[in-house]
Amino acid sequence: MRKKRITIIVESKMNTMKTTKRSAIPQRIKALAFDLDGTLLAPGAMLTERSRKVLRACMDRDVRVIIATGRSAASADRYRRELDAGGPMVCFNGAKVAVMPGGKILELRLLDPQIADFCADLARKTGVYYQAYFVRSREPYGELLLGEEDRAEAAGYRDHTGIRPVSGDITAVLGAADFEGCIKGMFLAEPEVLDRIRPCLEERFGGRAYVTKSSPTYLEILSAGVTKGSGLQTVMDHYGLAPEEVIAFGDEENDLPMFAAAGFAVAPANARPAVRASADFVTGANTEDGAADFLTGFFGL
């Protein structure tokens, strides 16, 4: 039998989880916003059967499940289908919010083409692998991932996300009439390499771009003002949700804006130290179905 990590106490005839930070009342929660990699998903990018059952039990209680990820819609939607969930999904760290299934766009924020071009040129000069996502259409999966070299980093990304980069000239595609524009660029390299590149981008573009890490080896560049927090806020406005009705789950720095938008935040034990410190509650690691543990105790499932 699994050991419960959550203590539920009765206060004012309502089960209220108490922490040293913010608190959440189960009866008031109407939505759960989940990061995927490192949080909801187990190693190997797998949604375990236990997590699937627990989230479906939450949906049976009319609690919405919102996917909020750095992944593309095409990569993330398989997990929504596994859960048999519907509604807005936050993709590309908030640059795209689409109602699924169907793909109706609620938010689409494209990266300044000069920034995308600068990043491609920087990659050519430094030898660091860079790839960029382009929007081809308003269809549900109207996205193209382009990389200028067929390298091991591209193969690793394909194995992890299921999306295979197409080889091509990023600068040329930026001016192509059959694309709406670039939605996200990303450098793939070891953490110490990305740590050398990041200050260059932040100093050059300042408030013109959002630079964040979605994993230790992924440095992502998006339009200014785009975050998972902005994407979650779009979903909350769509449903008419107040912050205290939403719990956010995440493990990386790109999840911190989502923590601020929601009324309560949960991090797995494997999260970055800064993320654990910002969370209202730390549950078990993603290797242990930590999110499912939290929800089982919180809702009394």
pLDDT in tens, 55-105: 999 999 999 999 999 999 999 999 999 999 999 999 999 999 999 999 999
CATH code: domain of residue 117: 3.30.1240.10
Cα 4 from Cα 171, distance rounded (Å): 53
**120 and 32 share a domain?**
no
**99 and 19 share a domain?**
yes
As for how many domains the chain has, the answer is 2
Cα 17 from Cα 15, distance rounded (Å): 7
Beta strand 31-34 with 264-268 is unpaired
**40 and 100 share a domain?**
yes
pLDDT reported for residue 73: 95
Tell me what the mean pLDDT of segment 1-13 comes to.
35
Cα 29 from Cα 18, distance rounded (Å): 15
CATH code: domain of residue 57: 3.40.50.1000
Cα torsion angle, 48, 53, 57, 59, sign: positive
Residue 36 zone, left/alpha/beta (φ > 0; ψ -120 to 50; rest): alpha
What would the pLDDT profile of 138-197 be if each residue is shown by its tens digit?
Answer: 888 899 999 999 999 999 999 999 999 999 999 999 988 889 999 999 999 999 999 999
Strand, helix or coil at 183? strand
Q: Which residue has the tokens 């995927």?
A: 36
In a domain, 1, yes or no: no
Query: Taking the model in full, what pTM does it have?
Result: 0.92
In a domain, 196, yes or no: yes
The token duo for 263 is 């009324």
In a domain, 194, yes or no: yes
In a domain, 189, yes or no: yes
Cα 301 from Cα 295, distance rounded (Å): 7
Cα 218 from Cα 41, distance rounded (Å): 17
**41 and 80 share a domain?**
yes
In a domain, 97, yes or no: yes
User: Structural domain of residue 173, as residue ranges?
Assistant: 113-223
Instruction: Please identify, among 223, 247, 271, the residue that sits at the C-terminal boundary of a domain.
Output: 223
pLDDT reported for residue 9: 31
Query: CB-based burial of residue 27 (10 Å sphere; 0-12 exposed, 13-18 middle, 19+ buried)?
Result: exposed
Cα 189 from Cα 193, distance rounded (Å): 6
Return the ∠ at Cα 42 (arms to 253 and 150), rounded to 5°. Answer: 70
In a domain, 2, yes or no: no
Tell me what the mean pLDDT of segment 1-29 comes to.
56
Q: Which residue has the tokens 């993709």?
A: 91
With 80 as the cut, is the pLDDT of residue 2 above it?
no
In a domain, 67, yes or no: yes
